[in-house]
């Protein structure tokens, strides 16, 4: 069995944002030379997420509005976590909702997606470098 590991690094200029990372994961798969197996794509920070959905700008706006309704950033005093000197409790909650990782089957050397599926990095407390782990195993 083959094993491949790579870290992808991101730094968003804003506090929140979504980045389509499907092409980077495809490149990792190409480099791994795995034809049948699994790929794990994992946000390595507790205020960021990796998820699968459609690459549609309206959907991304809907996510932004929905997440801000579920866990608004302001007022920051509403969160016990922020009493430690942080201001990112909302980012931790948003990550919990959006998820930490995705696993995608590899079939015939390709990501075995459903229609319209793509992989995204979600940032909820940006403006600094954060990493995503891509781990591929298979034959």
The strand order across the sheet containing 130-138 reads 2-10, 130-138, 37-43, 101-107, 110-111
pLDDT on residue 131? 98
Q: What is the pTM of this model?
A: 0.96
Tokens representing 76 are 């920051």
Mean pLDDT of 24-28: 98
Domain count across the chain: 1
Tokens representing 66 are 């929905």
pLDDT on residue 113? 97
Confidence of residue 118 (pLDDT cuts 50, 70, 90): very high
Range of the domain at 83: 2-138
Mean pLDDT of 102-129: 97
Mean pLDDT of 84-104: 97
Mean pLDDT of 20-38: 98
User: What's the CATH number where 6 sits?
Assistant: 2.60.120.460
The strand order across the sheet containing 48-53 reads 17-20, 118-123, 48-53
Report the Cα 68 to chain-centroid distance in Å.
17
pLDDT on residue 135? 98
């Amino acid at each position: 069995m083959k094993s491949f590991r790579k870290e992808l690094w991101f730094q968003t200029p804003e506090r929140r944002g979504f980045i389509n990372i499907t092409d980077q994961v495809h490149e990792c798969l190409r480099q791994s030379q795995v034809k049948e197996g699994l790929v794990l794509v994992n946000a390595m920070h507790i205020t960021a997420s990796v998820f699968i959905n459609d690459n549609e700008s309206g959907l991304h706006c809907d996510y932004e509005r929905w997440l801000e309704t579920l866990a608004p950033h302001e007022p920051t005093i509403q969160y016990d976590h922020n009493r430690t000197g942080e201001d990112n409790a909302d980012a931790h909650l948003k990550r919990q909702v959006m998820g930490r990782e995705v696993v995608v089957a590899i079939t015939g050397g390709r990501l075995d997606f459903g229609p319209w599926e793509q992989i995204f990095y979600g940032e909820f407390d940006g403006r600094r470098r954060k990493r995503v782990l891509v781990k591929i195993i298979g034959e």
